[in-house]
């Protein structure tokens, strides 16, 4: 599932910021007026790491033997040989959303109470990363070899299993009255994440013309939006939020997650390789059925037919196909895939803002969540 | 992890029944005097299936898309093509232990209250089976192709993940006051199961002379004993048992689980192929470091050296090594591996009985748990 760490560090693209955010967004922007773009979110993420990391690390260190070793490696606290590493456990977007949602509706006391739940959400995220890397045969994660390349498939799978269990154990041992509904919600989210990952791998195997835009949007919501929504909802539970507020927080996180995925997919095609750290058009060369590509394929335009023909054949590295990636990107663009994705991202951010206004009517209080949503969807850094 | 279904159906061997069971065991035997060997346990298992299956199936059917399909296949309710199957979800030993422990200390009301927890324990067991089959490349489970052979590794891993989450979600949604401590205990047990599976696969890769008997006993306790102990402990929690009673129930299940594993390993070497359904000495041909083998290897006898030499080379199917399996089995026996395993099994059953007497001093009330422990360790059917 998507990891914001690399993308936000390394990718950049000119993506329009949603212009229809309405009252809460503008007010909240005012409230962060002293901070330049993204600085408020960066400060939040740093505070989150400081609050969450000690308990996260204690939890991972409570694992036995090999589970502990793989866990400490995956989170960046140990090298493969077990010696200490400086640590690079990602940007902590999800725990930051938990804490920001708790603070938005319950103030600093709720934020403090929700730290353990934030740790649980981060553990769930990392369990999915451990397993997805095995399934997708991804070899690099956070600039380091993935756990399965170092410890083998079996230990990476087992460590993921143990990290999922650890997350739900933390909540079961948390005496806070929100811990039990939070655990139920997080467990339901895991099921959704699993189905999202299934649909993703399944779609990649299918013929390009058999995938619908609704399918790929539903997949992105399950795979990326669900856990962002769950993080916000869990934070709300710890603030004693009503069922309506919790549902709106979930919707906020889901829509922001979809906006993120749309923008990430645009950058995957048109992003500057100097910033993305990936060769230009790597997603196209891999014939990935990303959101702009499926929008283009299903557009009914002449360019869609050209794109389908290109996607029908595997990309071969080397001279014979020089210029093919550029032609493929152009076909996606001419079929409207780029414009659609950018408009859809803006629309999803607008929906996220509406949900946020429903959940947290006070723009001042909503500022933290808003800054995080803008941080993950803004790519002009 | 060990599945009692096939073994108890298909294996048989003359294994001594523990003779030092003490007061509770004898009394409980009296109380089941009207029932021939194992009949009481069989009746309990049938009652358990009738109580647990509807909720288990509802839970699995609540999964989305592919997770549901893989789950229904794994539990034997659907064929690979999605058509209904008659169902063969195993013997339900673990849920039976949950219900028997609840009934032993809390009567019929506690038994009824614990049904959802019994479902959760059975889901955890099956999540580990789904994943272990992937890691061990096992192709058959309950007389059918394993899920990964039908749906691929990725979907089997994802379905296992979803089934773990489902188990903990059921407990998070159970309003019973025991549900939260039961969830914490079950999650902690998952971590232990994962480490046990890691140690097992790791030991199989190591040189025969590098494995100690303590290591293989600890592995068997983590891999087989832990979930049996957890099942009993969870049942106790639903009966409002004290911390001491819960610990004793856990110890009862763990020791009975170790006795089971010892006997299963003996049958894996000396069992009658007509009953085991496996070729004679399959465990030896696979160079499995089972409990009797490690006991033999570490015995310091001349036969131990002979066995180490045999185990140092891979077994090759075919004529050149005819008689090698018989020689290997004889070396294990001459090195004392068989006698040790049988004595150790009897000792573990005696310890299980002591724990049971501590947890449930009333022999009448302990009868159900006793019958289940004898059922899984008796192999003269």
> What pLDDT digit, counting tens, does each position of B6-38 carry?
433 333 333 344 433 333 333 333 344 344 568
Least confident of A82-91, B175-184, B317-326: B317-326
Q: What is the pLDDT of residue A263?
A: 93
How many CB pairs (< 8 A) connect A and B?
143
Nearest-CA distance from B198 to chain A in Å? 6
Evaluate if residue A81 carries a pLDDT over 90. yes
A343 touches chain B (CB under 8 A): no
Share of chain A above pLDDT 70, in %: 87
Q: Kindly state the average pLDDT of the residues B41-46.
A: 94
Residue numbers in A near B116 (CB within 8 A): none
pLDDT of residue A222: 97
Q: What is the pLDDT of residues B63-113, one digit of tens each?
A: 999 999 999 999 999 999 999 998 777 889 999 999 999 999 999 999 999
Average pLDDT, chain B: 88
In chain B, % of residues over pLDDT 70 = 87
What is the distance in angstroms between the CA of the first residue and the CA of the last residue of chain A?
Answer: 23
Interface list for B 146-185 with A (CB within 8 A): 153-155, 157-162, 164-166, 168-169, 171-173, 179-181, 183-184
Confidence check: pLDDT of B192 > 90 = yes
State pLDDT tens for residues B101-130. Answer: 999 999 999 999 999 999 999 999 999 999
Give the minimum alpha-carbon distance from A108 to chain B in angstroms, rounded to a whole number.
Answer: 26
Q: Indicate yes or no: CB of B180 within 8 angstroms of CB of A202.
A: no
**Top-confidence residue, A281 or A206:** A206
Mean pLDDT of A57-66: 97
Using a CB–CB cutoff of 8 Å, tell me whether B74 touches chain A: no
Q: Has residue A19 got a pLDDT over 60?
A: no
- Coil, helix or strand at residue A86: coil
Residue B1 reports pLDDT greater than 80: no
Q: How far is A234 from chain B (nearest CA, A)?
A: 14
Residue B3 has pLDDT above 60, yes or no: no
Q: Compare CB distances from B157 to A65, A157, A168 and report the shortest one's residue.
A: A157
- The yes-or-no verdict on residue B305 having pLDDT over 50 is yes
The verdict on A323 touching B (C-beta cutoff 8 Å) is: no
Secondary structure of chain B in the HEC alphabet?
Answer: CCCHHHHHHHCCCCCCCCCCCHHHHHHHHHHCCCCCCCHHHHHHHHHHHHHHHHHHHHHHHCCCHHHHHHHHHHCCCECCCCCECCCCCCCCHHHHHHHHHHHHHHHHHHHHHCHHHHHHHHHHHHHHHHHHHHHHCCCEECCEECHHHHHCHHHHHHHHHHHHHHHHHHHHCCCCCCHHHHHHHHHHHHHHHHHHHHHHHHHHHCCHHHCCHHHHHHHHHHHHHHHHHHHHHHHHHHCCCCHHHHHHHHHHHHHHHHHHHHHHHHHHHHCCHHHHCCCCCHHHHCCCCCHHHHHHHCCCCHHHHHHHHHHCCCCCCCHHHCCHHHHHHHHHHHCCHHHHHHHHHHHHHHHHHHHHHHHCCCHHHHHHHHHHHHHHHCCCC
Does residue B254 surpass a pLDDT of 60? yes
> Is B161 in contact with A187 (Cβ distance < 8 A)?
no
Q: Which position has the higher pLDDT, B286 or A51? A: A51
pLDDT over 90 at A16, yes or no: no
Q: Mind listing the pLDDT tens digit for each residue in A25-60?
A: 333 333 443 445 689 999 999 999 999 999 999 999
Chain B residues 76-115 with a CB less than 8 Å from chain A: none
ipTM rounded to 2 decimals = 0.89
The whole-model pTM stands at 0.90
Q: Which residue of A has its CA nearest to B153?
A: A135
């Amino acid at each position: 599932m998507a990891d914001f760490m690399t993308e936000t560090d390394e990718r950049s693209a000119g993506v329009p910021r949603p212009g229809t955010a309405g009252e809460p967004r503008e007010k909240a922007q005012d409230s962060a007026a002293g901070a330049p773009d993204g600085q408020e979110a960066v400060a939040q993420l740093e505070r989150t790491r400081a609050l969450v990391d000690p308990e996260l690390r204690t939890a991972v260190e409570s694992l036995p033997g090999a589970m502990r070793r793989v866990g400490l490696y995956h989170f960046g606290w140990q090298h493969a040989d077990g010696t200490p590493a400086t640590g690079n456990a990602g940007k902590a977007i999800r725990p930051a959303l938990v804490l920001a949602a708790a603070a938005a509706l319950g103030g600093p006391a709720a934020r403090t109470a929700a730290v353990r739940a934030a740790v649980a959400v981060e553990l769930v995220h990392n369990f999915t990363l451990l397993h997805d890397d095995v399934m997708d045969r991804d070899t690099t994660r956070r600039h380091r070899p993935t756990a399965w390349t170092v410890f083998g498939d079996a230990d990476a799978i087992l460590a993921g299993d143990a990290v999922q269990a650890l997350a739900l154990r933390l909540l079961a041992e948390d005496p806070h009255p929100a811990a039990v509904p939070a655990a139920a919600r997080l467990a339901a989210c895991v099921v959704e994440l699993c189905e999202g990952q299934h649909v993703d791998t399944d779609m990649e195997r299918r013929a390009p013309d058999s995938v619908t835009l609704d399918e790929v949007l539903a997949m992105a919501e399950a795979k990326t939006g669900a856990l962002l929504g769950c993080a916000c909802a869990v934070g709300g539970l710890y603030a004693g939020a009503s069922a309506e507020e919790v549902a709106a927080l979930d919707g906020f996180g889901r829509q922001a997650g979809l906006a993120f995925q749309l923008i990430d997919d645009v950058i995957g095609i048109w992003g500057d390789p100097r910033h993305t750290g990936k060769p230009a058009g790597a997603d196209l060369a891999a014939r990935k059925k990303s959101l702009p590509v499926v929008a283009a394929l299903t557009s009914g335009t002449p360019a869609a037919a050209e794109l389908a023909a290109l996607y029908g054949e595997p990309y071969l590295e080397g001279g014979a196909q020089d210029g093919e990636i550029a032609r493929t990107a152009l076909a996606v663009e001419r079929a409207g895939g780029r414009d659609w994705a950018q408009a859809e991202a803006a629309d999803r951010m607008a929906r996220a803002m509406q949900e946020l206004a429903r959940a947290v009517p006070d723009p001042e209080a909503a500022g933290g969540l808003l800054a995080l949503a803008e941080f993950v969807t803004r790519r002009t850094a």
